[in-house]
Amino acid sequence: MFCFNKMSTPAIALLLMATLLPVASFAKDSGAKGAAKEQSKEQSKEQAKDQVKPAASQTVVRINGTAITRLDVDRAVKVMLAQNQIEQPLPPESMKEAESAALEQLTSAEILYQEASKLAIKDLDKQIAEKVAQNRSKFKSDAEFEEALKGIDMTAKDLHDFTRKDIVINNFIQTQFASKATATEAEAKKFYDDNMEQYFKKPEVARASHILIGIDEKATAEERKKAKEKAEALLKRIKGGEDFAAIAKSDSSCPSASQGGDLGVFGRGQMVPPFEDAAFGLKPGEVSGVVETQFGYHIIKLVDKQASSAEKFENVKDKITEFLKKEKMQKELSAFIDQLRKTAKIEQEKL
């Protein structure tokens, strides 16, 4: 079961509008567009067979007389799934959940847009043209741009209309909510103290290399003895001055052998306990004894280790303040939309 937030992020600000073109671009860049196109063809075939499916132009809800159609919902679902990188097709129950979440967001967007339209915006048409041109500039040609629009079931007029809504809503949120949101230093400090472990504490990390003489989990006592003896012989060579990385490349059974045994950076909890205890117990440059784990026998060399530390409040104060302001703004905006819903005339059909 997937979970789709009904009212998420300041994206009540965007509410799927400004994101439509970037998603088309994402699909193009990731190679997903071709797959989506093929899937769309298959879906079209199924829809042609299924006469009970609602037409794209069918109204699913009216907000103060303005219709949201089945096409609007389908398009919003496509964008939402792409944003969350969820593979399609979804199980029927999950698709219904996605459709409900998309309709909820579209409804909130329309309610907010109708209210926001009461505020005049200077040079609105110019702003719309500039933003459309900005989206167009992300593509190499008109044909590629039009193909991206088709990928999310949009026309140039749809884009113009969505861009208008995006600008109108964002202007309203900025002037009525964002510009008035405040957060004190005391509030920021409390958030810092309350969330130290989760957000501001850097865990202890180490970077190490190792040589592994691997053993099968069903190895006999004699096989284990021979593996351990081999590891001890290699350790003796290292202590005698031979190069650790060279021995790792020639004798380690771990895939890291090709990198001279380098395991990169890791924190506590990422390695099996015996390995972790041995690695974090070393000083940079030191080599362990032979360490036994379920994978076999290891020789570990600690390259570097960084102790746990915390970000200073002064370094993160501004970011926390901005976060708290946005959080307050979102709550106020959500409450405002809830109030608008109480007086709005919402006539909903079944999806």
Please give the domain boundaries of the chain with CATH numbers for all domains: 10-184+326-348 (1.10.4030), 204-307 (3.10.50.40)
Residue 132: per-residue pLDDT: 93
C-alpha distances in angstroms, 348 versus 58, 69, 72, 100, 334?
Answer: 12, 11, 14, 12, 21
Q: Looking at residues 220-236, what average pLDDT do you find?
A: 96
| Residue 44 φ then ψ, to 5° | -60, -40
Tell me the average pLDDT across 210-227: 94
Single-letter amino acid, residue 101: A
Q: How many CB atoms lie within 10 A of CB 40?
A: 15
Question: Which pLDDT band, with edges at 50, 70 and 90, does 349 fall under?
Answer: confident
**Does 337 have pLDDT greater than 80?**
yes
- The predicted pLDDT at position 34 comes to 40
pLDDT for the residue 28: 39
pLDDT band of residue 351 (cuts 50, 70, 90) is low
Mark 293-308 as b/e (b = at least 16 C-beta within 10 Å): bebbbbbbbbbebeee
The share of the chain scoring above pLDDT 90, in percent, equals 72
- Predicted model pTM: 0.63
Q: pLDDT tens across 289-308, in order? A: 999 999 999 999 999 999 99
- Lowest average pLDDT, out of 25-29, 90-94, 145-149, 264-268, goes to 25-29
Given a cut of 70, is residue 89 above it in pLDDT? yes
Averaged pLDDT score across all residues of the chain? 85
Among the listed residues 132, 165, 171, the one whose alpha carbon sits nearest the alpha carbon of residue 21? 132
Who has greater pLDDT, 174 or 7?
174
Please provide the size of the chain in residues: 351
